[in-house]
């Protein structure tokens, strides 16, 4: 997948050796928990800078940190909840990384800054690493980029990696393919929407949170989700539904416990792990393919193909990809 031409070997062997040595050093620092090195590494991966491929090729598997996805509509209280979870887990002396992604506003630094300010009480904490990402510009697709960045973060000695993403159901980032546990955050205002929520949401949610439980309609939303979870489970374990008031730290301990309980249960499910890995693999291959496509060739061939009376777009795509 990573070709030598892309890493610059062909230009100058010596230069590449130097890049490799620096990347190896950077990697060692990341493993020791050096936050500056980790931030630098993320920038390299995010922007595909020199050494990007070497860095990824040096990653190990089965690092110990577990990834928790926190997803939900804008304003549901995800960042506030992340903050509250950090506060809770710090009492257990956990080391935590937070990746906050807002794909809808790549240049909206106001929004990113908003998250920063809210999380500021932990920005300088030695056990907490926080990084906002605006990776929409990434060539190979946001999903693949997030998989790469998360895998790099897992090299550092964190216990937990929290990934905050916007969206429900048709999220720009398929968080479920990335996280060991996906928490879907909803708020009472979304009450009516629950009836029409896409089937996908039941598939991706490992835990439901009804945040802003201090507001009207929280109880109704809670009940509706419980019914949905019950129907879907059909006798098996039901997806937990937890009420929280993130601004008041209420229900946060219960949520933290539910997350850890879920993660512990996952450890013993090799089938699920393989499924997750296959999903990640598929996304990376897909992104790579998108990159490899020669747009000039695509246009030229397409221009020829549309001249045919029996032109079909899907047949063309299949043919183009060599399927």
Ligand X SMILES: Nc1nc2c(ncn2[C@@H]2O[C@H](COP(=O)(O)OP(=O)(O)O)[C@@H](O)[C@H]2O)c(=O)[nH]1
Please say which residue, 159 or 189, places its beta carbon nearer to ligand X: 189
Cα separation of 57 and 44, whole Å? Answer: 13
Whole-number Å distance between alpha carbons of 56 and 2:
10
- Specify the DSSP class assigned to residue 59: -
Q: Point out the residue whose Cβ comes nearest to Mg ion.
A: 79
Cβ-closest residue to ligand X? 77
DSSP readout, 123-180? HT-TTEEEEEE--TT-TT-HHHHHHHHHHHHTTSS-SEEEEEEEBSSS-SS-GGGT-S
The distance of closest approach from Cβ of residue 70 to ligand X in the complex, given in angstroms and rounded to an integer, is 8
Q: Quick check: 76 binds ligand X (CB under 6 A)?
A: yes
With CB under 6 A as the contact rule, the residue among 95, 212, 243, 280 that binds ligand X is 212
Which of 135, 150, 182, 211: binder of ligand X (CB under 6 A)?
Answer: 211
With CB under 6 A as the contact rule, the residue among 7, 71, 79, 206 that binds ligand X is: 79
What single DSSP character describes residue 22?
H
Name the residue nearer to Mg ion (CB basis): 98 or 156.
98
Distance CA 42, CA 65 (A): 17
Lay out the site mask for ligand X across 280-299 (x = CB under 6 A, - = otherwise).
--------------------
Of the two residues 164 and 180, which places its CB atom closer to Mg ion in the complex?
A: 164
Q: According to the 3-state scheme, what is the secondary structure of 89-122? A: HHCCCCCEEEEEECCCCCCCHHHHHHHHHHCHHH
Half-sphere exposure of 63 (CA within 13 A, CB side): 20
Q: Are 180 and 84 contacting, i.e. CB atoms less than 8 angstroms apart?
A: no
Q: How many CB atoms lie within 10 A of CB 176?
A: 19
Candidate list 50, 247, 286, 288; residue touching ligand X; CB under 6 A: 247
Q: How many residues does the chain have?
A: 323
Check if the beta carbon of residue 47 is closer than 8 Å to that of residue 140: no
Region from 77-85, 121-129, 147-155, 285-293 binding ligand X, contact rule CB under 6 A: 77-85
Q: Does 137 bind ligand X (CB under 6 A)?
A: no
Sheet with 207-210: list strands edge to edge.
Answer: 128-133, 96-101, 160-166, 66-72, 181-186, 207-210, 241-243
Closest approach, Cβ 77 to Mg ion, in A, equals 8
If one asks whether residue 7 binds Mg ion (CB under 5 A), the answer comes out as no
Least distance from ligand X to the Cβ atom of residue 115, Å: 7
Q: Does 214 bind ligand X (CB under 6 A)?
A: yes
Residues 59-118 that bind Mg ion (CB under 5 A): 78-79
Q: Is 165 in the site for Mg ion (CB under 5 A)?
A: no
By CB under 5 A, tell whether 206 contacts Mg ion: no
Does residue 182 touch Mg ion according to CB under 5 A? Answer: no
What is the binding site for ligand X (CB under 6 A)? 72, 74-80, 211-212, 214-215, 245-247
What is the binding site for Mg ion (CB under 5 A)? 78-79
């Amino acid at each position: 997948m990573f070709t030598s031409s892309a890493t610059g070997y062909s230009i100058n062997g010596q230069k590449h050796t130097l890049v490799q040595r620096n990347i190896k050093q950077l990697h060692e620092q990341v493993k020791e928990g050096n936050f500056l090195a980790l931030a630098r590494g993320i920038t390299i991966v995010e922007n595909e800078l020199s050494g990007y491929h070497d860095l990824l090729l040096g990653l190990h598997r089965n690092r110990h940190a577990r990834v928790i996805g926190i997803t939900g509509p804008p304003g549901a209280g995800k960042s506030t909840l992340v903050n509250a979870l950090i506060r809770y887990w710090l009492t257990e002396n956990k080391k935590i990384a937070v990746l906050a992604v807002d794909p809808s506003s790549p240049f909206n630094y106001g929004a990113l800054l908003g998250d920063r300010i809210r999380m500021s009480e932990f920005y300088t904490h030695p056990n907490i690493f926080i990084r906002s990402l605006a990776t929409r510009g990434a060539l190979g697709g946001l999903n693949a980029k997030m998989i790469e960045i998360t895998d790099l973060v897992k090299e550092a000695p964190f216990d937990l990696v929290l990934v905050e993403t916007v969206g429900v159901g048709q999220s720009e980032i398929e968080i479920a393919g990335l996280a060991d546990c996906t928490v879907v955050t909803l708020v009472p205002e979304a009450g009516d929407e629950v009836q029409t929520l896409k089937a996908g949401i039941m598939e991706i949610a490992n835990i439901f949170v009804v945040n802003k439980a201090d507001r009207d309609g929280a109880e109704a939303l809670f009940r509706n989700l419980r019914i949905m979870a019950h129907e879907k489970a059909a006798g098996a374990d039901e997806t937990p539904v937890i009420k929280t008031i993130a601004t008041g730290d209420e229900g946060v301990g219960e949520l933290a416990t539910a997350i850890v309980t879920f993660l512990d249960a996952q450890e013993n499910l090799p089938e699920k792990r393989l499924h997750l890995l296959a999903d990640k693999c598929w996304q990376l291959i897909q992104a790579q393919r998108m990159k490899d496509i020669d747009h000039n060739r695509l246009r030229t061939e397409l221009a020829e193909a549309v001249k045919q009376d029996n032109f079909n777009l899907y047949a063309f795509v299949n043919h183009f990809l060599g399927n």
